[in-house]
Structure 1
Amino acid sequence: MRMGGKFLYFAYGSNLLKQRIHINNPSAVRAGIAKLKDYQLDFVTYSKRWRGASATIVPKKGSHVWRALWEIDMTDMDNLDKRVHDNIYIPLMLEAEKFCWGQAEMSDIPEDRQPSAVYLNTILKGAIESGLPKDYQEFLKRIPHNGYVGDVDIGEI
């Protein structure tokens, strides 16, 4: 959604965390939280940067994903677009319900698709900072990880 030189961005992974999103998008201002229906959080593609699989969302009827809503200046659009052009993410125009409560569930993630512990911890810190529902935070804590807690190539967190 675009409005007067700004657009709304929905973050569900490491960009939940203010410190993380500001590395590449310094204009980002938290605008609330939202729930995306009929999608679930998943981890599919290995990220050399994070030393484990990175978060994505996949369609799944009856599931949902909580996300932080950020208002970002159009001048930062290229920073997000670069990640799209690198085939890391695909932009979607989606509707979300603001401030809806519920519980997401996800089956066990195979070992080769598990996020690193440092990445998962970044997502959890962002979920807490964003004010995502406690039950969703608990869900994130139950996601299996690959145990990696060392350095990652993303800037200071």
Structure 2
Amino acid sequence: MLKSEVHKLDTFLYFSYGANLLTFRIQMHNPSAAFVSIARLDNYRLDFIRYSKFWGGPNVTLVPTANAHVWGVIWRLHKDDMASLDNQIGVDRIKYYIQYLDVLTPYMGLFKCRVYIQKINPLPRADNDVVPMERWPSATYKRIMILGAIEHDIPEYYIEYVKKLKHNGEDGCLTMVCLLNRYAVDTPCECRVPGRISRKTFKLDLKKIREKEKISGK
């Protein structure tokens, strides 16, 4: 995508660094989302806090940290999807606040994007500190992040970093939501089976059954 094609009327840029790295996940609620580029946010680190029943673990957030960085994806969305995105992230439930930060792309320079950060910051920790279990993401959340990072060719070293994050083993409710969207929201399939499957007519011959039982001594 050319830089001149990124900014369009009635759209905004959003930098995702968590579950919305995955195209399927973000487009479940925001169908206008279009991939722009991968990008790096400097002087922030990844962390998890505040338990979510949906995910079965704490939600992801950004923590200001000198000399650290977080990789993510820039999406372009139509303004009609802004309220839907805010609701998905949890702005209306006072979980996240909105900032506009500069993120660096590999080939198109800096972009100022809409970024969501939790209102409650985790306690500070050093690189070699043990991460407490309440700050381990669920297995589902971690898997979604990895799939999204691989899908968009985020640098391999960062994917390895995410893979090494400890998780709490919980699966969360994403599978249920996917099934509901597939079978309760999507338009039913109207495919027709070509032709008619021929089957032999089943006839129950009691006389033959009794004769076989006599022969076998039953």
Q: Indicate whether the TM-score tops 0.5.
A: yes
> Would the alpha carbon gap of residues 25 and 142 (structure 1) be closer, same or farther in structure 2, given more than 3 Å must change?
same
After superposition, residues 91-130 of structure 1 pair within 5 angstroms as 91-99=98-106, 108-130=130-152
Root-mean-square deviation (CA, aligned residues, Å) is 2.2
CA distance, structure 2, for counterparts of residue 55 and residue 16 of structure 1: 12
User: What does the per-residue CA deviation read over 1:71-108, in whole Å, with 9 as the maximum and x for residues that have no partner?
Assistant: 000010001222212123211110011128xxxx7854
Q: Which of 53, 76, 79 does residue 71 from structure 1 map onto?
A: 76
Number of matched pairs: 153
CA distance, structure 2, for counterparts of residue 15 and residue 107 of structure 1: 28
Identical residues among aligned pairs (%): 39
> Would the alpha carbon gap of residues 24 and 44 (structure 1) be closer, same or farther in structure 2, given more than 3 Å must change?
same
Q: Mark the structure with the bigger radius of gyration.
A: 2
Runs of 4+ in 1 over 2 A off after TM superposition: 105-109, 149-155
- Give unmatched runs, 5+ long, in structure 2: 1-5, 108-126, 180-218
What TM-score, normalized by structure 1, do the two folds share?
Answer: 0.89
Structure showing greater relative contact order (alpha-carbon pairs closer than 8 Å, 6 or more residues apart): 1
Structure 2 SS opposite 1:122:
helix
Q: Is the counterpart of residue 23 in structure 1 residue 28 in structure 2?
A: yes
